[in-house]
Amino acid sequence: MNALLAAALLLITGSHAPRIALLDLSPRADASMPAFRVVRESLRDELRAKGFDVVLTQETYDSLRRHDDIADYYIDISDAAHDAAPEPVSVNVGTRGAGVEVGAVTGVASAQVRLFDGRTLDLIHSYDLEHHSSGLAPTAIGTGSRGFFASIFIAPIFERAQMRNAARAVARDAARRIAIDLARP
């Protein structure tokens, strides 16, 4: 809907949607590459949904020059990280030959997102964001008999999903704040 409104505004006014370039990860940044990718791609999608013209670039902040005509604004994502937060709550359910452990699984994601003016490269705003995502999931499964028992710990599969959800929430929050700072709905 917002993209449709942006297209209508473009036709009526002849002006274009602000172009935002999402910068690549600086080699000096302290960031997890998987977390960076999830936040960057989700931020691109969220900003496009708000009517911005968003491009991914291989440029880093250090490689930009003042008055480059790549974009109206640049976004640098640094210190992106995600992790699983241990939850001490779990319940074991089993029968004679098999069992399942169900527990709370939490993912945490954080990032520093910096918004720069495209012409002057002046910092407009910096956002330090963190989000948590939790849910119940099987954390281990096991089977056995009197003389044999085997158990597989499967929590990391579900922790990864929660970490991705938390990273997407960081991107949603960043897009909302950037849209407000650039006066877009």
- Separation between Cα atoms, residue 31 and residue 7, nearest integer Å: 35
pTM above 0.75, yes or no: yes
- Tokens coding 4: 């449709």
- Separation between Cα atoms, residue 55 and residue 71, nearest integer Å: 9
- Separation between Cα atoms, residue 104 and residue 128, nearest integer Å: 26
Q: So what's the pLDDT on residue 14?
A: 52
The ranges of the chain with pLDDT < 50 are 1, 3-13, 185
Pairing of strands 90-94, 149-153: unpaired
What is the chain's percent helix, strand, coil content, to nearest 5? 30, 40, 30
Taking only the tens place, the pLDDT of each residue in 170-180 is 999 999 999 99
Please determine, looking at this structure, whether the domain spanning 2-181 carries the CATH number 3.30.160.150.
yes
Spell out the domain ranges in the chain: 2-181
Residue in the structure block whose two tokens are 């911005």: 52
Taking only the tens place, the pLDDT of each residue in 95-119 is 888 999 888 888 899 999 999 999 8
- Tokens coding 29: 């940044």
